[in-house]
Amino acid sequence: MATPYSSRRFDRRSVLKGAAGLGALGVASPFVIAARADTPIRIGMIDPLTGVYAAVAQNEVIGAKLAVDQINAAGGVLGRPLELLVEDSANDVGTGVQKARKLIDRDQVSFLIGDVNSGVAQAIAQVSNEKKILHIVSGGHTDSITGPDCKWNVYRVCNTTTMEANSVCSLLFKQYGKKWHFITPDYAFGHTLQKAAAVDLAKLGGTVTGNELTPLGTTDFSAYLIKAQAASPDVIVVLPQGSDMVNCLKQIVQFGLNQQIHVAGLQQELESLEAMPPEARIGIWMFEWYWKQPGIPGVDKFVADIRKVNNGKVPTARNWFGYASVHTLAGVANQQKTIDSVALAKALGNFELPPEIKLQPNKCYYRPGDHQLMTSAFVGEAQSGGAGDPEDLFRVDHVIAGDETAPPEDATGCKIQWPA
Amino acid sequence: MTQLLLFNVTNGLIIGAFYALMALGLSLILNLSNVINFAHGGFLVIGGYLAYTITPYVGFWGALLIAPVLTAVIGLAVEGVLIRPLYGRDPLYSLLMTFGLAFIIEDGTRFIWGAQGKPVTIPPFLARPLSHELFFITGYRIFMVVTVTIAVALIFALLRYTRLGIRIRAATLDLEMVAAMGVNVRILRSLNFAAGIYLAGLAGALAAGQLGLEPTMGTGLLMPSFIAIIIGGVGSLTGTLIGGLLIGVASGVTAVFAPAASEAVMYVLMAFILLARPRGLLGEEGMMT
């Protein structure tokens, strides 16, 4: 019969079990701790990797991947590695929304980045807001994302359409004339960009001779150009992007319209200029970031790093958007020592990008009132061929700070509702 | 306004000629093989990129001659491996196959040549407009129309005056009877498919000079071609030609009054013609049923 003492005694089996257990703990513990440290923090990235914006979208992904590699090499975020999960929105709102839900629900991403297409970006923002996930819109420009439709969890890296218009309109007016005819892509981005430019033009005392709305994916612009020429404007303002812009400018030059009327636009990108024949690289534009910035800290290294991962090609603004988006998330998470979306969204207000990330001369920070990054506009003229480098296709004349091109926070229409 | 309208009608005819070239290739394949080739735009892209790739070696004119032939050879291989096994089945199978193939070609193009568009330079004397006023009629556009006209004339001559063409026409009407008379229908279908793809390749090589190159360029040009076939009437190559020109003009004229509707007008026109004459303008009753 067992005495009360006997029940407390360690028998041989218990000792063996205990020893085995301790041994197992000794072996297993490092794995448990290591597993916790190695569990990656996932960032979901949604961009139109196929379709008319494929080239710019893929460049955003290349920039984001470079940032992830750099951050992981430097110890990750809160001691954990970053993992980038990339999905294709195919330029389609439904697909974008479906991919956002998949990334959040199934892949358990902590943060979201995307999309190039403004309409898709807005739709994804609805999902990220519903799921309370911090979301950075890397390349969708339409005003309302950081305007009337702004959300506590959504920040934006690229310029707004109003910032783009404000950066270049007065120069266009001064140098090219006061009667403008717009060729506008018929969706959210184009509409707000044209509206912003028309407002600026009206303030300057100019007139709009017409606005041709062209469907996304238009290949032949001749009918619109015939109409534009008939209206006798001083300037044809080309607003389509990607392959649409390439086709439009190419046809303008083939028709010799640039000999009769000035041709210019607001947003221009290196991807588009490279896809054009040299003679079509004309006019005044704004770049959102440009790779040739002598004397600006970190730019040369960024150019060299991107060249290494992108077949020797120089970085474009899209590379920088992806790069800055990931570094923003990692930087603020490391600073706040959390990955909680609400805490990080609050901390991002007034968060300033360090020199090695901002890669531009002016101060670059997120405004707390509308969650818009105050990033510079690089205004200048397209050039047919680079003097020193074949990819130097733009001459930057002015670098204007975001604070000078953005309307005041209270004029954007943004009223942020924080979760209870 | 009258001048603007006339300009747009002329411009529409130029664009329509290009649609017609695409649509004729589609129509050839559809009429004989009953294959709705959704990958036709993909073959156009292949033709354009091949022309771009071989231009440094053979020049612009050499590329224009060789690229469509190379595209037709690829088409021949695709027909032999992927399409032929589906001839005996419901047309839906080949439709789904070519639908998938279109995506594969688009992504394959992106993989090989990159997502970024490629500029294609045309000979300088073709790049100039006809005159200051008729600025939209450039040398290259005239060249395109002339090329399309020659290609269409050759196709019609081939179908009318050659043994191969007569057999294709006969097989379009009654395939079983032609087979029963000892004609090798397998080879006939392959050659016919290759001829259709040759036209797609030619359209691609021509479009590269006009538009530049981009992996998705075929998608935008494919739908107008289908509409041209439906408007013209399935089974009629002449109808397809008229359909192509008609939607080009309709689109051009609409651009004067409501630019945003210039694409939608093709579909509206198709709907009206289907309501008034379901077989299309020159289509035969009962085709494709």
**Would you state the structure tokens that stand for residue B146, as one six-digit string?**
């002339």
CA distance, residue A223 to nearest chain B CA (Å): 6
Asked if residues A145 and A126 have their Cβ atoms less than 8 Å apart, the reply is no
CA distance, residue A52 to nearest chain B CA (Å): 7
Q: What is the pLDDT of residues B201-236, one digit of tens each?
A: 999 999 888 877 888 888 878 888 899 999 998 878
Q: What is the pLDDT of residues A185-198, one digit of tens each?
A: 988 889 999 999 99
Which residues of A are less than 8 Å from B116 in CB distance?
Answer: 55, 271, 274-275
The residue of chain B nearest to residue A313, with distances taken between CA atoms, is B116
CA distance, residue B75 to nearest chain A CA (Å): 24
Task: Identify the CATH number of the domain defined by range A41-159+292-375.
Answer: 3.40.50.2300
pLDDT of A96 > 80? The answer is yes
Which residues of A are less than 8 Å from B8 in CB distance?
Answer: 223, 226
Look at A260 and B132 and tell me if their CB atoms are within 8 Å. yes
Inform me whether the C-beta atom of residue A276 falls under 8 Å from chain B C-beta atoms. yes
pLDDT for B263 equals: 81
Task: Say which of B117, B121, B135 has its CB closest to residue A256.
Answer: B135
Task: Say which of A54, A55, A276 has its CB closest to residue B119.
Answer: A276
Q: What is the pLDDT of residues B120-157, one digit of tens each?
A: 888 888 888 888 778 888 888 899 999 999 998 998 99
CA distance, residue A47 to nearest chain B CA (Å): 13
The residue of chain A nearest to residue B126, with distances taken between CA atoms, is A254
Average pLDDT over residues B4-18: 83
- Mean pLDDT of the residues in chain B: 88
Lowest mean pLDDT across A113-127, A388-402, B248-262: B248-262
Inform me whether the C-beta atom of residue A213 falls under 8 Å from chain B C-beta atoms. yes
Look at A275 and B260 and tell me if their CB atoms are within 8 Å. no
pTM: 0.80
**Would you state the structure tokens that stand for residue A36, as one six-digit string?**
């916790």
pLDDT of B77 > 80? The answer is yes
CB atoms within 10 A of CB B39: 28
Task: Identify the CATH number of the domain defined by range A162-266.
Answer: 3.40.50.2300
The ipTM, to two decimals, is 0.73
CA distance, residue A92 to nearest chain B CA (Å): 15
- Mean pLDDT of the residues in chain A: 89
pLDDT of A29 > 70? The answer is no
The residue of chain A nearest to residue B216, with distances taken between CA atoms, is A51
Shared fold status for A41-159+292-375 and A162-266: yes
Lowest mean pLDDT across A28-32, A105-109, A385-389: A28-32
Lowest mean pLDDT across A27-41, A199-213, B106-120: A27-41
Task: Say which of B119, B135, B260 has its CB closest to residue A277.
Answer: B119
Cα–Cα distance measured from residue A120 to residue A122, given in angstroms and rounded to the nearest whole number = 5
The residue of chain B nearest to residue A58, with distances taken between CA atoms, is B115
Q: Is residue A20 very low, low, confident or very high in pLDDT (cuts 50, 70, 90)?
A: low
The residue of chain A nearest to residue B139, with distances taken between CA atoms, is A254
Look at B7 and A271 and tell me if their CB atoms are within 8 Å. no
Which residues of A are less than 8 Å from B140 in CB distance?
Answer: 254
pLDDT of B241 > 60? The answer is yes
Percent of chain A with pLDDT over 70: 91
Look at A255 and B138 and tell me if their CB atoms are within 8 Å. yes
Q: What is the pLDDT of residues A389-400, one digit of tens each?
A: 889 999 999 999
Lowest mean pLDDT across B1-10, B11-20, B135-144: B1-10
Q: What is the pLDDT of residues A166-187, one digit of tens each?
A: 999 999 999 999 999 999 998 8
Average pLDDT over residues A270-275: 92
pLDDT for A19 equals: 44
pLDDT of A42 > 60? The answer is yes
pLDDT for B8 equals: 80
Domain ranges of chain A: 41-159+292-375, 162-266
**Would you state the structure tokens that stand for residue B17, as one six-digit string?**
């000629």
Which residue, A256, A323, A260, is CA-closest to A289? A323
